Chains A and B, each alone.
Chain A
Amino acid sequence: MDTFEPWVAYPPLTQVRLSTIATMLRDVRRETVDKHESTDGDSEWSLGCRIYSRSCFAITQAAAKYDWLRILNEREVLRFTFAIGNTPLRFYKGNADDPPGKYMETTFAELNQQQLTLEIDGISLRDVVLRLAVETDEARLASSVILVEMNGESGSITNTYDIPFNAEGSNVVPMVVPPVSLPPVGLPTTEEAEEAEKAEEEVGNRDVSSQ
C-alpha cells in the first residue's frame, strides 16, 4: 500500500486537525479508564459505554471551539457522526484492519454530508467511508488512532494513516524573506569600459585639485 497522506485526497483532513481529535479520544479514554472501579460494580460493558459517551461529549464540546469541526445530525442512536471541514467521520474501538461490521455502513448523516462535500469542496466521497480506529493496549488505553479509508460497498480497506498524537501546527507566521534578485551582468565593450575608466579618472583628478 502506498504511503497515504489524508490531506492530499481530503484537504480538510490536515494532520493537525486529525491529531487534535485523536489526542482527544486518547485522553478521554485514559481519564475514563482511571475512573473505572470494578470493585464498585463497574463492568467492561459500562466502561465501553462510558468511554463512548464521554468521547462523543468531548468532540461535541470541541466543535464549539474549532470552526473546522461540526457534529452531524443523525436519525439513529449510537451512530455519532462528525465532520472535519465537510468530510464526515465516525470512530470505533478496534483494530484498523478489522473494523466492526456496523461501522462499515454509511450512516444517514454521512450520506447527506457526502453530497455536501462534493458540492462545496469538490471531493467525491461516493463509495468511500472514513473511520477513526482507536486501537488499545492491555491496559485498555489508546495505543494509536488510525484513520481508515474503506470502500463503502465492499468494506475493503483502501488506505490507513497512523495519526500522530499532539501534532502541532505553528501559530507563528514564519518570516518570509523575498528571494534574492540580481541584475544581469554588465558587459561593456573594451572601448566603453576604457571610456568609463577615463571619465572616472577625470572626476577623481577634479576632486583632488578642488581640495
Chain B
Amino acid sequence: MSVPSESFSGVRLQLAREFKGLTQKQLGDEVAAAHSLISFYESGKRKDPSHDLVEALAIVLGFEPGFFYGRLEDVFLEGQCSFRHKRKAAERLKDQIRARATLGGMVIAQLRKFFRFPNLNVPELSASNSEDIERAAEHCRKHWGLGLDGPILQMSRVVEHAGIVVLRNIIQSTDIDAFSRTGPTTVIFLNQKIPSTSRWTFDLAHECGHLVLHRGIATGSIETEKVADRFASAFLMPRKAFSREFTSAPWTFKHAFDLKKRWHASAAAIVRRAYDLNLLSAVQYRRAFQYMSLKGWNRGEPYEPTNFQQPELMDNALNGLGTRVSITREALCTELYFKPETFTEITGLSINLNQRTKAEVLSFRHS
C-alpha cells in the first residue's frame, strides 16, 4: 500500500465514517476492531494504525487508503451549517449530510484550481422584526439587480451568480429539505428527492435568507427558521408587486394557482404571504389551510412549475473536465483518494472506469 508521507488524520476517518452513516461501533464491527480503537484514532489519542486496518477502513468506507492521511483543509463545522428540516430529522442524519457536504467542498476546492468560480457576493444583514426582514429581502433583490416587481424563475442562477455553489446529490432523505453553509466554500444543498419544484425554489430562497441574515449565528431554532421563511417569501414575492396582483381578483384557490404559475411559489406559500401582508384574515387563512389539508395538497400540490432551472455551475465544471481543461474526472477522483462510487455519490456523475483500465485488461481469448 502506498500512502502519502503525511500523518494519519482522525478527522478524515470521522468524516469518512459519518459519510457512510456508521457509528463507531458499526465501523469497528465491519473491520474487526473495538469501537474504542476507532474512537482513539478519530480523537488522535492513538496514531499510525496498521496498514491492514487502514486498507480495511478504506474498503468499507469507499475511499483509497491515501484519503486518511494529511490535514483536512475545510471541514464543514456544525456552527457554519443551517438545515431546513422536519422536526423528526435525526442528528445522525445531519452529521452524515455535513460529512457529504465536506466531501462536496473538497471536490469544489479541487475544481477551483482549474476554473474561476464567481466570487462570493452575498450581503450580510441583520433583522430583528418583520419589517427588517422585508427590507433585507428588498435590499438583496436590488443588490443583485433583480428589481422589486417581477417573479424570479431561476432562483438557482440567482444564488450561483452570487458565488454560492448549489449541489443536488448530497441528501438522500426526505426529512431534510435543504442545507447551507458559509465558510471558505459557501454552498447550498438542495434536496430533489422531494418532488416539488415550487418547494425547491422556496428552499433556495430560504437558505439564502440564512446566508444573508444568520452568518455566524446558530440556526435550527423555530425562530431562525421563521425568519428564513419570511425572507424567502419576501424575496420571491416582494410585498408591493405581490399585493397588487393578489388583490387583482377575489380570493379563490383558482386565483392562488394562477399566482403560483406566475410566481413559482407554492399555493401554501402564496396563502401564507397573503396572510403576512394582511391580505387574508386569520379566519380565511385558517380555512384555506384546512381546505388544502382536506385536498391533500400538504403532501403534494397541483400545478407544479415544470420549467425549474437546475443548478448549472457544478455540472458545468465537472463536465468541463477532460474537455475544457486537461484533467479528467478520473484523475480528479484519484487526486481526492475517492473510490469511483463515492465520487459518483457526491457529484452525481459517473466515472468511466473502462477509460482508466482498458490498457490494463488482458484478453482471455486464445489466438
Contact = CB atoms under 8 A, between A and B. Distances in A.
Contact of A187 (B152, B245, B247, B316): B316
B116 A188 contact: yes
A185 B153 contact: no
Interface stretch (B54-62, B71-79, B154-162): B154-162
A8 B252 CA distance: 10
Contact of B248 (A174, A186, A187, A193): A174
B113 interface: yes
Contacts of A15: 250, 252
Contact of A189 (B115, B247, B252): B115
A179 B243 CA distance: 16
Contact of A190 (B113, B160, B161, B262): B113
Contacts, number: 83
Contact of A178 (B113, B150, B161, B254): B150
Contact of A169 (B241, B250, B287): B250
A179 B152 contact: yes
A120 to B, nearest CB: 21
Interface stretch (B86-94, B127-135, B181-189, B317-325): B317-325
A182 interface: yes
B244 A187 contact: no
Given A185-B312, A187-B320, A189-B114, A167 B250 contact: yes
Say whether chain A's binding surface is mostly helix, strand, loop, or mixed.
loop
Given A2-B294, A7-B254, A189-B115, A181 B324 contact: no
Can you list the 4 inter-chain pairs with the closest CB atoms, starting with the nearest?
A193-B116, A177-B149, A174-B248, A182-B157
Contacts of B317: 187
Contacts of A58: none
B28 interface: no
Interface string B168-208: 00000000000000000000000000000000000000000
A77 interface: no
A189 B324 contact: yes
A177 B147 CA distance: 10
